[in-house]
Structure 1
Amino acid sequence: MEENKDNERTEIFSERVRAGKRTYFFDVKATRSNDYYLTITESKRRYKDDGFFYEKHKIFLYKEDFNKFMKAFTETVDHVKEELMPEVDFDAFDEDNEEQDENHKSERVGVTSGNSDLNWD
């Protein structure tokens, strides 16, 4: 009997975003039937008496919800930027982190198998 066969999923693509004390992972995975889905994981390093551990929260996003998710996410971020915090230069955050991002490019994982033309529109 193969170990963990039912729980095994093929990872197709992964992108990591470091954000202060948090790290976000955007992972495209495939089921055994070659159906694609996205997991979004927030990971936070936490300390306890005998060292540290990573607290993780995960969202599974299925292909039939991609467009609805992106629309709601974009509208929400735009509302914060334009209505609640118009005085904040959000592009400055990106510029401040460009050097850090360049240092971590080598850690990204590219498409290894399957369909790389996932369309979110």
Structure 2
Amino acid sequence: MESIYSKRIRAGKRRTYFFDVRATRGNDYYLTITESRKRFNDNGYDRHKIFLYKEDFNKFIKALNEAVDHVKTQLMPDFDFDAYNHDDISDEHDMDDVAETVEVPATAAPASVTAPAATSSQDEVDKW
């Protein structure tokens, strides 16, 4: 299936997350979340993929936010999670650590596609 939208997040030197919006044959949309890890012993990668369908978007976001909030407020309230924000590009940061967003033109998608309303914003994601 062709990707309509893709966001890549580098997480260290060996791990990358991909968030891809894909279209079904019937022009419906779903999200794939992929973790890709470089193997120690060879040049290959281990990949784990989650398929998330539109009817589960809000439940997934809610559960993810609750789990992250629990870690941040109950388990590790004194930890500085902002120390891991690598959004600022400077001489100190490697370009590979900066999240990359790629818009892919949809050949089979309708002219106007709107994303479902999410309960969290990009700012909330950046707080992690």
Distance in structure 2 (CA, Å) of the matches to 1:60 and 1:81? 26
Distance in structure 2 (CA, Å) of the matches to 1:111 and 1:118? 15
Bigger Cα Rg: 1
Structure number with higher relative contact order (C-alpha < 8 Å, ≥ 6 residues apart):
2
- Larger strand fraction of residues: 1
Structure 1 runs (4+) deviating above 4 angstroms are 104-107
Counterpart check, 1:18 vs 2:15: no
Counterpart check, 1:117 vs 2:107: no
- Larger helix fraction of residues: 1
Alignment of structure 1 residues 36-47 onto 2, 5 Å: 36-47=29-40
| Gap regions ≥5 residues in structure 1 | 1-8
Q: Report percent identity of matched pairs.
A: 55
TM-score by length of 2: 0.75
Distance in structure 1 (CA, Å) of the matches to 2:55 and 2:117? 10
How many equivalent residue pairs? 109
TM-score by length of 1: 0.79
**2:52 aligned partner:** 61
- The root-mean-square deviation of aligned C-alpha atoms, in Å, is 2.2
